[in-house]
Amino acid sequence: MCGICGFTGEIINQNKVIENMTNLIIHRGPDDAGYFIDKNISMGFRRLSIIDLDKGNQPIYNEINNLVLTFNGEIYNYKELKEELLKAGHKFYTETDSEVIIHGFEEWGEELLPKLRGMFAFAIWNRENKSLFIARDPFGIKPMHYTQNGENFIYGSEIKSILAFPTVEKKFNYKTLDNYLSFQYAVPPETFFEGIYCLLPGHYLWYKDGNITTQRYFEAKFNINEDLDLETASKQIEKAFENSVQAHRISDVEVGCFLSSGIDSSYVSSYFPGQKAFTVGFDFGQKYNEITWAQNLAKKVGINHYYKTIKSEEFWDAIKKVQYHMDQPLADPSCIALYFVSKLASEHVKVVLSGEGADELFGGYTIYNEPRVFKLYQQILPQKIRTFFANMVKKIPFRFKGRSFIIRGENTVENKFIGNAFMFSKEDKEKILKNPTLATRPQDLCKKLYKRAKNYDDVTKMQYLDINMWMVGDILLKADRMSMANSLELRVPFLDKEVFKIASTLPTKLKTPKENTKYALRHAAMKRLPIDTAQKEKLGFPVPTRVWLRDKKYYEIVKKAFLSDTSSMFFNKNELIKILDDHYNGKWDNSRKIWTIYTFIVWYNIYFKELN
């Protein structure tokens, strides 16, 4: 795992600029640095040594030195590809997986990408035709950002590197604020910095003669087999996942794993007897603390278990550091918990495996049950009547049993599901934004993806949307940034293209039947895990923000932010205080909305005030 950055063209103090850009991501690779600099391009690299510790430094060149590579990630099938390339006549000088990419690109060009099994973001400079090729892995596990600034093209694993380029003007992107308030993250390819973009997963980019072109090479398409039975599916899952875990464990350093009480990380940990696992929790009872559960499982599986209880003060003190490393505001409080478990793991190992991606691939989120729950209701009552009932109950100023059902049951999946987080509607945003004309319907941003998924059933449509938006903008972003903030490589064996081949065939009956979510995956996991672990309901990464925001101390911290000058630039303070007070007084649970706004204010102060 590493960090890369660079820019095309000549500038004053060229060496110093690329060195500064590279040092800003030293946390991604504290072991070594490398550069390629000529009058056409400057490429920087920071290395976290995992494979071929002595000779795996970058940049890496092909045999005739006309191609230059900097690479972030891991290629798990590099040995097989190396054998193929050796037969084709290529000469290798290292044992690192990185070298497979440079020779593979020389041999196959863009067709290299479908051959790669792993996580990656890399840049290849052609010294002869002065072209730059950049690619990102199929699911977006590794990040890549870019911008064009006059005659310079600038790129980097993290946006902070790009911002360090002398002529890049740091301009706030109001469009992204609107989307963030609904989704709780910056929706790719846009970022909070005007003119700086995120290269989408499964895409590559060419930069040549001042022109940028991007192309998609991978799409997570579902090919559902309605005849697939539970026993056959679970055997296929078991075989594919075991193969993936073994591939993801390839390393010249020790590999550990994260462990919560859920099936995803527990299933991963079942392959780690005698090795190390890491857990964090909060001192707020079992709902917010999975340590005891993880301890019990660790004993059964035979893992050396390390854990930490995060104190309230520690959590709140870490918010600024976390938002700095995120580059963009992320209103998912679990990213802070992930920061602490990554910090704990980094004290013992360099690499961990984690369970990200299982929910999106195998149908794990509780909300995926909604199509089944509302099916009969929507069949009996026409849309107009459902809308009438929903509008009626929305006006009732108190909660009652069935209220949420009537509201949620009103619309089709395309009109209500924008992903696992839905913070503010267009109407909500018009109330809180100082400039209400910025507010848009978040559903409109999802239309393009729903159109591509039009032939899928509702559960699969939700999965497709989450794979392309939620997983990229939230789940994988925080996994990369929080692990890298602690110089830790995080690998995700569920997000393997061979595992996806199996997951993509599962019918809904094997994902979200009445019994539970991730039905087929749980059945496969029961062969390695205690039944209570395999069948445990999804808990997520619970953080007690709801409790904290009803504590006077933390209420006052947030209130101060809501009344600040930064807040007044974007929001109607009276509306924010009402949302905060309603939660504090127990009228509504507004904790997620409050956290979304508070996180943005903290982030804005870091990037547009403190770092100026």
Catalytic residues: 5
CB-based contact 155:6 (threshold 8 Å) = yes
* Sequence-distant (≥ 6) Cβ neighbours of residue 91 within 8 angstroms: 63
**E strand map for 173-303:** 197-198, 203-208, 211-216, 255-258, 276-282
- Paired with 281 in beta bridges are 309
Joined tokens for residue 286: 């079992």
Helices 334-346 and 476-484, axial angle in degrees (round to 10): 40
* Sequence-distant (≥ 6) Cβ neighbours of residue 89 within 8 angstroms: none
Burial class (CB in 10 A: 0-12, 13-18, 19+), 389: middle
Concatenate the DSSP letters of all residues of 151-182 into one string. TEEEEESSHHHHHTSTT----B-HHHHHHHHH
* Sequence-distant (≥ 6) Cβ neighbours of residue 329 within 8 angstroms: 180, 185, 186, 192, 323, 599, 600, 602, 603, 604
Joined tokens for residue 396: 């009732």
Task: Identify the residue whose tokens are 């290395």.
Answer: 47
The strand pair at 41-47 and 2-8 is best described as: antiparallel
3-class state of residue 401 by DSSP? coil
Buried b / exposed e over 480-506, threshold 16 CB at 10 Å, is bbbbbbbbbbbbbbbbbbebbebbbbb
* Sequence-distant (≥ 6) Cβ neighbours of residue 413 within 8 angstroms: 370, 371, 458, 461, 462
- Least Cα distance to 423 among 179, 172, 173, 605 occurs for 179
Q: What is the DSSP letter of 276?
A: E
Q: Mark residue 239 as left, alpha or beta (left: phi above 0; alpha: psi -120 to 50; beta: remaining).
A: alpha
Q: How far apart are CA 178 and CA 182, in angstroms?
A: 7
Q: Is the dihedral of CA 44, 49, 55, 60 positive or negative?
A: negative
Please state the three-class secondary structure of 570-607 as a single string.
Answer: HECHHHHHHHHHHHHCCCCCCHHHHHHHHHHHHHHHHH
Joined tokens for residue 562: 């809501």
The strand pair at 197-198 and 2-8 is best described as: unpaired
